[in-house]
Chains A and B, each alone.
Chain A
Amino acid sequence: MVPPIVEARGLTKRFGKVEALAGLDLVADSGQVVALLGPNGAGKTTFVRTIATLVRPDAGSLRVDGIDVVDHPERVRRVIGLAGQYAAVEEAMTGRENLAMVARLFGHDRSTARANAHAVLAQLGLTDAADRLVRTYSGGMRRRLDLGASLVGAPRLLLLDEPTTGLDPRSRIDLWDAIRGLVAHGTDVLLTTQYLDEADQLASQVVIIDHGRVIAEGTPSELKARAGRDVIEVHALRADDLAGLAGALAPLGSEAPWLDPATRRVTVPVVGGRQAINDAVRALDVLGVEVGDIALRRPTLDEVFLTLTGAPIDSPSADDIHEPPAPAVPAGTA
């Protein structure tokens, strides 16, 4: 019987007054991408750093591929590859030199290290830039090289801490493709993200973390089903119409409508499905406001998160180049 690639039981870690991990339980089976989803400060990074043996837990147990991280950290380090929030590569070396160095530190001899570096560079589409100093690389290239550095040792479990934070959309999609390529070849991946679409795109198991605990887990579709109800989404033509639309839709919803001024959308969870959308169309007729678009759909992970935690996922910091779709906010707090 293959042990789970990650098995955490009651994992606790405190930094001063902050309880970063508060009895986290998680079992991740081999053969999939697991996404840890949660706002800033939820404990995602602490959990990844604990798996990487960079943080020692205060209590609870954590096994990686069946190996206890506290008892045998050096054996755990042979199983994992870590790519962090920063591109931890040496700017004054070429891409090839960076990868060869890390391959040597994984224990490869000189020629194997060189061969691995070559293969990984090709895999990540960096062959053309391989012999340039990293200080000439773009942000996306650095991030891919960083991913490559965690790969040259052929780890069984790849830990990616917010791998695409701060990347432009194009680089983000490239990196997603790279991650999918790895999974197809049998590397297990555990990634953290604040981006719901990222979890949705990449992961077969999504674990939602808040305040150092797992609050929900499942496949993306299971989680969406768990949030239950379908939603009706109305796209307004004018921002001024939003409040009126929300008022008209409110009686149909099982919860208060959410307004998203940035995208001029009103969203409301409904119970009745097809009947509900008929009612909605009628309500809009009565209101007499012209709308761009009206649809009945499954909830997004954004909405799932909102339902489960009562709070939207933090918006990304202002310096992020890539802005994911702004989360909906409940009417009244907007």
Chain B
Amino acid sequence: MTVTTLDHPTGAGAPTIAPAPAVAPAPAPPGPLATAWSVTVRTLRKFRRTPQLVLIGAIQGAMFLLIFRYVFGGAISPGPVPYVDFLVPGFVMTSVLFAGTGTAAGVAEDVEHGFFDRLRSLPVSRGALLAGRTLADTLVLAWGLAITTAIGFAIGFRIHGAVSMALAAFGLCVVYGFATTWLFVWIGQVAGNAQAAQGMSLLVFPLTFVSSAYVPVDSMPGWMQPIAEHQPITVMTNAVRSLALGDPSLAGLSGTTAHWVVLSLLWSAGLVLVFAPLAIARYRRS
């Protein structure tokens, strides 16, 4: 082995860099929990310190909620309850998907700017890195859902059942959020840049409109009803609405609340089972 000295002395000017201090290597790589937590903290900090992210999400949500409530609301009569009581549970549920756009864009940005490469070059579990990201995005999402719900109450929404059931409805939305975040993390990676990721996420939106989220399914054309009836967003909306109104019949639904909740949880599990492996495989891929 030969050690060759540099041909040149140091560059122009006095060196501004102090001699390297002793930084020792770590005894062992971190475990999956510590790994996930480090990444979670980063995403939460980013959210908290980027006012655009905090404000724009909330303002957009409020804007659409007001438009539905006051512009379209007068033309829609969902039956036994006022439109605002029908709308808010569906709206809060679908804001999970709107928030997902932000997740996909954030992930794509991390890919684009090499942040994912930095993380992937570290001696940690890649699955744990992604799990940390998903956890953080779910927490951010829960915050957004709480704001939307508060606005819902401010414009006249009232629960019709027990408080515990309404809380369960909220919890259910957070579960959906966790499940769909895997989908959006996958989309963000596949898209590769923030704009493409947002574009791809928009493809989910026809699904939110062709559902029971904003209008009763039986007001749609006959050929559309079977699609709207059976797709997951309708199932998830029906579960949340049944809990919030305390009784599925107030939501114009047959079947028990338990039926809708279990079915929506199965859909959520399905989403995780499909998109978590896809997202992790994509992340680990080399």
Contact = CB atoms under 8 A, between A and B. Distances in A.
Nearest to B37: A104
Interface stretch (A149-157, A239-247, A258-266): A149-157
Interface in A201-225: 201-202, 204-205, 219-221
A120 B46 CA distance: 23
Interface string B8-27: 10111101111111111111
B286 A90 contact: no
A81 to B, nearest CB: 8
A182 interface: yes
Contacts of B1: 2, 29-31
Contacts of B12: 173
A122 interface: yes
B82 interface: no
Kindly state the interface size class of chain B when it binds its partner. Answer: 35 or more
A116 interface: yes
B102 to A, nearest CB: 14
Contacts of B119: 105
Contact of B7 (A52, A112, A124, A200): A200
Nearest to A76: B123
Contacts of A88: 113-115, 117-118
Nearest to A173: B11
A7 to B, nearest CB: 13
B139 to A, nearest CB: 16
B6 interface: yes
A164 B139 CA distance: 38
B29 A78 contact: yes
B16 A125 contact: yes
Contacts of B124: 77, 105
Given A53-B286, A153-B122, A105 B38 contact: yes
Given A106-B30, A173-B11, 18 more contacts: A2-B1, A52-B121, A53-B121, A77-B122, A77-B123, A78-B29, A78-B123, A91-B46, A101-B38, A106-B122, A107-B27, A122-B18, A123-B18, A149-B118, A154-B24, A173-B13, A177-B17, A204-B5
Contacts of B22: 119
A91 to B, nearest CB: 8
A85 interface: yes
Contact of A176 (B7, B11, B26, B122): B11
A105 B3 contact: no
B75 interface: no
Contacts of B3: 31-32, 204
Interface in A122-178: 122-125, 133, 149-156, 173-174, 176-178
